[in-house]
Structure 1
Amino acid sequence: MAKDQKAKAKMEQAKGKAKETAGRAVGNERLTAEGRTEQAKGDARQAKEKTKDVFRH
């Protein structure tokens, strides 16, 4: 389960970065903001999983 969540976090971060980059390239502020939001969600998920790992060991 934890590996699945970590992979999901990485995927959200990568997808968010791609959206942000595309948004900046075409000048679309909404797409850029969506990308940043997705990256933040991925960062939060990753932090949560790291915290869980600390308490497991």
Structure 2
Amino acid sequence: MNKNQAEGRGKEAKGKVKETVGKVTGNKETEYKGKAEKQGGKAEAKYGDIKSDAKKASKK
């Protein structure tokens, strides 16, 4: 797991927590910020996956 994958998955988890807290408390702003953070984390993790795959392919 590379740096981007780890950071992305961490941001994704953090965003999910914020989203859930926002839903439970009825705070739409926190909920939307959580959703945005979760999506950003998914994108970063996906970038890390692609980067890892490219590195593996270049070694072959």
The answer, yes or no, to whether TM exceeds 0.5 is yes
The list of structure 1 runs, each at least 4 consecutive aligned residues, that deviate by more than 6 angstroms after superposition, is: none
For the 8 Å contact 2:2–2:52, the answer to whether it is kept is no
Q: Which runs of 5+ in 1 are unaligned?
A: none
The one-letter code of the counterpart of 1:34 is K
The one-letter code of the counterpart of 1:47 is K
Q: Across the two proteins, how many residue pairs are aligned to each other?
A: 56
Q: TM-score, normalised by structure 1?
A: 0.88
Identity of aligned residues (%): 29
Aligned to 2:26: 27
CA distance in 1, matches of 2:39, 2:51: 18
3-state DSSP class of the match of 1:30?
A: helix
Larger Rg: 2
* Cα RMSD (Å): 1.2
How many Å apart are 1:26 and its aligned residue?
A: 0.7
Q: TM-score, normalised by structure 2?
A: 0.84
Q: Which runs of 5+ in 2 are unaligned?
A: none
For residues 23-54 of structure 1, give each alpha carbon's deviation from its aligned partner in whole angstroms, at most 9, with x where no partner exists. Answer: 00011110000000000010000110111111
For residues 3-32 of structure 1, give each alpha carbon's deviation from its aligned partner in whole angstroms, at most 9, with x where no partner exists. Answer: 222221111011100000000001111000
